[in-house]
Amino acid sequence: MSSRSQRSVLPGFGLTLGFTIFYLGLIVLVPLSAAFLRTFGMTWSEFVAAVASPRVLASYRVSFGASFAAASVNMGFGFLVAWVLVRYPFPGKRIVDALVDLPFALPTAVAGIALTAVYAKNGWVGQYLEPHGIKVAFSEIGVFVALTFIGLPFVVRTLQPVLEELEPELEEAAATLGAGRWQTISRVIVPQLFPALLTGFALAFARALGEYGSVVFISGNMPMRTEIAPLLIITKLEQYDYRGATAIAVVMLVASFVLLLLINLLQKWSRRYHRV
């Protein structure tokens, strides 16, 4: 690493940094500070009443719990998908590769309606699940399914370039040195991929937290059970309660920021730990 006091040989640092800060300020910070400012008009007890009523607390549990579960599952299966796409040639690979991006492109309301149609008790999948007592649409599982759907590409697209860089020779070397398949995966491959896996997880998690369009169709929106925090924000807006809505938004923002920061730190730590 080069010392920071040394002038970089690349020209244009001042201009580009200036523009970066201006751009981030305009696109990210200004809207966010508007959200914070709205809540400053509230007294502390109003703020607590808005963000800590039983119903709102229940919605945080649903939002954070389902997002965490969905991002975790995506981390596992997204890894598998990325692995297959990078390591094996097979017919139709390009189509499969393009399919991964669909959740990015599909309007989320469409995804929600489609998923609900499939998992409702008269849907393709739902008709086989409901007789066994597994209710997906209009239940907690539905929230999880929708969030898993929208989160998948984040993990796959983060892992793919890193996997492509990872040379198969490393595995061959591990094998010649007597490592078993499982050892190769757990001691050689996963440590290399861990930072990328975490990034994918963080992206999928953050995306799931903010998701509204698809979830409201499949969750059934039952208070205390399947109501997500973004829905409560909308509910408050419907009552022209701007400050209450932004109060919940601020809590969500701070919580996600802290979580993402933690994930970043974990990533940094894992990078250092595994490189030594």
Residues that bind another protein (CB under 8 A): 49-50, 53-55, 113, 116-117, 120-123, 137-138, 216-217, 220-224, 231, 234-241, 244
Structural tokens at position 85: 């796409």
Nearest to 120 by CA among 101, 139, 102, 136: 136
Nearer to another protein, 92 or 133 (CB): 133
State the Cα–Cα distance between residues 119 and 149, nearest whole angstrom: 13
| Nearest approach, Cβ of residue 216 and another protein (Å) | 5
| Nearest approach, Cβ of residue 103 and another protein (Å) | 21
Q: Which residues have C-beta within 8 Å of that of residue 184, sequence separation ≥ 6?
A: 171, 174, 175
| Nearest approach, Cβ of residue 68 and another protein (Å) | 24
State the Cα–Cα distance between residues 166 and 173, nearest whole angstrom: 13
Nearer to another protein, 55 or 181 (CB): 55
State the Cα–Cα distance between residues 199 and 225, nearest whole angstrom: 29
Nearer to another protein, 42 or 175 (CB): 42
Rg of the chain over all Cα atoms, to the nearest angstrom: 22
| Nearest approach, Cβ of residue 232 and another protein (Å) | 9
* Residue 113: other Cβ atoms inside 10 A: 15
| Nearest approach, Cβ of residue 51 and another protein (Å) | 11
Nearer to another protein, 196 or 233 (CB): 233
Nearer to another protein, 59 or 199 (CB): 59
